[in-house]
A and B are shown apart, each in its own frame.
Chain A
Amino acid sequence: MGESAIVTPAPSGRWPRTVVARETARRGVRSAVLWGVIFGVYVTESATGYEGAYKTSGQRHALAQTLGSDVGISAIIGPASHLDTVAGFVAWRTLGVLTVVGAVWGLLAATRLLRGEEDAGRWELLLAGRTTRRGGAAQALTGLAGCALVLWAITAVIAVAVGRSSSVHIDGRSALFLAVADVSGAAVFLAVGALTSQLAPTRRQAASYAGGVLGVAYALRMVADSGAGLAWLRWASPLGWVEELHPLTAPRPVALVPIVGLIAILTVLTVQLAGGRDLGASTIPDRSRPPTRTMLLSGPTGLTVRLVRPVVIGWVVAIALAGLMLGLIAKAAGRALTGSTAMRKLVSDFGAHGAGATTYLGVAFLMVALLLALIAAGQVGAARGEEAEGKLDHLLVRPVSRTSWLAGRLSVATGALVIAGAVAGVTGWLGAASQDSGIGLTNMVAAGLNLVPPAVLILGVGTLAFGIRPRAASGACYAVLAWSFLVELIGGIVNASHWLLDTSVFHQMAAAPAVAPDWTTNAVLVALGVAAAAIGGIVFRFRDLAGA
């Protein structure tokens, strides 16, 4: 027991000067390994999928012609060149998706490992050791670099292995450079997240600042790749620089210069700002004495609204912009769909038919469905966070039942999803209407609301996990989400079996507005979500509250 506890130096005490770096790397490496594997699988799947689906040079040529000239595809994923070769296809498809996925991973990882650890008070313990604030930040950045290296190494090993296969034929050196290009978005946004961790007063704020930077970078890249004669804008966005690397097709290592340069500048700024501020404080001032606002604070559900409001507003703004953008390019992109067998296949895989702006939006709204599902996953994580951090205790030791607290949280989350879906529809309509695309407002709002049921299902699955394995609740949501999205991407390009496609929460969703929403199926999705949430709620009622 306590009286016999003798403090023995931990083995890590051998290098006390690098404890922060090692601790940061240790906390981040698991997700780096996981995402390295996902990156590798995605590269593999792109190569083998292409080999399987487009066997003859005629097919490859047709693919290159249709996708290569498609402005919408180019804007969303990036310009598609050399699609008649496996190398060109792999480079285009992995870069377009992994850069953004990696950037999101990077900014979340950096803000979690820097600002999150600081918020939790663990930094204080580390900095009490033999290091300074500045040194601690430099060490943490080293730890993040370690995570990026792990991500790259795993991606590279798999890419090299795939390249060796006789049908793919990508030499080792090119595969290594492909891996560099695929993870450079992650590397840049690790650094961005580290910097915003110094600027913002909380982890969540830091992540949303970094998310804002990513949004702007993506929008700039998108405009540059929209064929509007603004290609030079690519140099204004880090995501554009990544594109300029042209791995496998026409490698341009010189584009690494701005990438590395930006990371270096962000690193120096991070260390400087960390040294110049108090621990726990932010560079951007946090109003410590705001006016008292008690309007919402009359019960647990009002509190939930108050707590999630900033995050939900951020998401809704992002979704509004995404809807607007997709609406704006829908007409031009839809035109490119006409006469393309490959694109028609892609479209029909999503249940849509024909061509034109509605067809394009039907496919493109899958992206928005993903954003809604991310809101749902985030809400499950937030509910679990209240429990893990002990904040929920303050409510549950008072006359508040667990069921009413959870039901309140789920209602708020569902409300946020409905608002987000409707907003996507309205802004999508605004964008499309400005181009005279001839899509009705009602159809677009219905298409927006059509995105809600899969997100409700995610919310339900997350709540089930929250009841049964609270510590795995967030992970379960993101796992289902990542899996579903990967399945959709795979299914969209290659012939995938139906049992595989059916494991995606998005697959039952009708591709509205290309086709009318299937409200019966939607009702089934919602019912499944509600049932899962109800079981989760009952289990939660009878289990122990669990700390972090």
Chain B
Amino acid sequence: MAEPAIHTSGLSKRYADVDALSDLDLDVHQGEVVGYLGPNGSGKTTTLRLLLGLIRPTSGSAEIFGLDCQRRPVEAHRRLAYVAGEANLWPSLTGSETLHLLGRVQGQVDAAYRGELIARFDLDPSKKVRTYSKGNRQKLILIAALMARPDLLLLDEPTSGLDPLMEQAFRHSVHEAKERGQTVFLSSHILSEVEALCDRVGILRNGRLVDMGTLSDMRHLSALTVEATFDGSVPDLSRVPGVSSVEVEGRVVRCQVQGTVEPLLKVLASSGVHELLSREPSLEELFLAHYGRSTDPGTGSLEVPALGG
């Protein structure tokens, strides 16, 4: 097996009295598309800057394709491209001058693909960067990264400032990269984006990786969402084993079920249920399971108080 695209062990970064990142053990295999989710300030950018060697770890180590990120950054950078969430470029250069410069510095450019990307992202490269909107500057650094066709793409909230149409163009480009066997590490707080693109997801909270797995691995952590409509009176579901977060709206009850659904089904069957909907939790709900509650860790349920019933 080839060496992992990204490998970190015990990677930590401490600023004064804040642990920006604690003890991160992460492996991203070649050809994978991995999502890196967390709210603002959870340590996503810190992780990426450590991987890029822009900042130094307090402890632990990180490697890109087996190359130490601190000791051999230049060699590691030959194989990757990075897109920052904030595109602070040189305002006096035009778009095409910027692409020319970044291509030359990178050392590899697929010129035909660059043209395709410029068309896809609908960018006018003849203008000065100063006159670009935030979205246009973001497109520019996205194109600069993608046009190099690197083995590894490190993306830090790359779609900030892009409109939905351009987000589609971005997703298309990530799919393309994946088909070509490129590895993608995508930090984001946009759940639908990660859900649509990623094979595996890591969830980061307060500088700690609290979960890592495929989307289906993650789903068991959360509850099944069940919505039932009753003919007559609404039964009290809050005492049914495994059921939580009961919400009642007229004759409709919405709740979360953890583990087996059998006890709930028994109660429903004897209560004249008229309509029953159940679905897998979305990544939104997975995310809320980790961030949206204050107590009760591990159940993955949403602490929404039951509205009567």
Q: Point out residues on A near B: beta carbons under 8 Å.
A: 1-3, 119, 201-202, 286-290, 292-294, 297-300, 303, 306-307, 389-391, 393-401, 542-545
Contacts and interface: CB of A to CB of B under 8 A. Distances in A.
B248 interface: no
A204 to B, nearest CB: 9
Among all A-B residue pairs, the 7 with the closest Cβ atoms: A544-B55, A390-B88, A397-B82, A297-B101, A2-B39, A288-B131, A294-B100
A300 B105 CA distance: 7
B226 to A, nearest CB: 26
A397 B127 contact: no
Nearest to A289: B126
A390 B205 CA distance: 25
B83 to A, nearest CB: 9
A292 B89 contact: no
A288 B56 contact: no
A303 B92 CA distance: 11
Most chain B beta-carbon neighbours within 10 Å: one of A1, A119, A292, A397: A397
B105 A545 contact: no
B260 interface: no
A3 B288 CA distance: 11
A399 B106 contact: yes
Contact of A290 (B74, B89, B101, B128): B128
Contact of A399 (B40, B89, B105, B154): B105
Contacts of B42: 1
Given A1-B39, A288-B127, A303-B90, A400 B96 contact: no
A393 B84 contact: yes
Nearest to A310: B92
Contacts of A401: 73-74
B88 A2 contact: no
Given A307-B90, A398-B107, 6 more contacts: A1-B39, A119-B91, A202-B91, A288-B128, A399-B105, A543-B56
A288 B89 CA distance: 15
A289 B55 contact: no
B26 to A, nearest CB: 19
B104 A286 contact: no
B123 to A, nearest CB: 14
B94 interface: yes
Contacts of B127: 288-289
Interface string B26-44: 0000000000000111100
B102 interface: yes
Contacts of A300: 105
B128 A294 contact: no
A303 B54 contact: no
Contact of B94 (A1, A290, A397): A290
B135 to A, nearest CB: 14
Nearest to A392: B54
B54 A393 contact: yes
A520 B141 CA distance: 49
Contacts of B175: none
Contacts of A288: 127-128, 130-131
A395 B105 contact: yes
A196 to B, nearest CB: 17
B146 interface: no
B84 A390 contact: yes
Contacts of A292: 94, 96-97, 100, 126
Contact of B97 (A119, A297, A299, A394): A297
B204 to A, nearest CB: 12
Interface centre among B93, B100, B126 (most CB of A within 10 A): B93
A299 B41 contact: no
B128 A394 contact: no
A287 B144 CA distance: 24
Nearest to B106: A398
Interface string B125-138: 01110110000000
Contacts of A298: 101, 104
A298 B104 CA distance: 5
Contacts of A293: 97
A119 B91 CA distance: 10
Nearest to A119: B91
Nearest to A391: B88
Nearest to B128: A288
Contacts of A394: 84, 89, 102, 141, 144
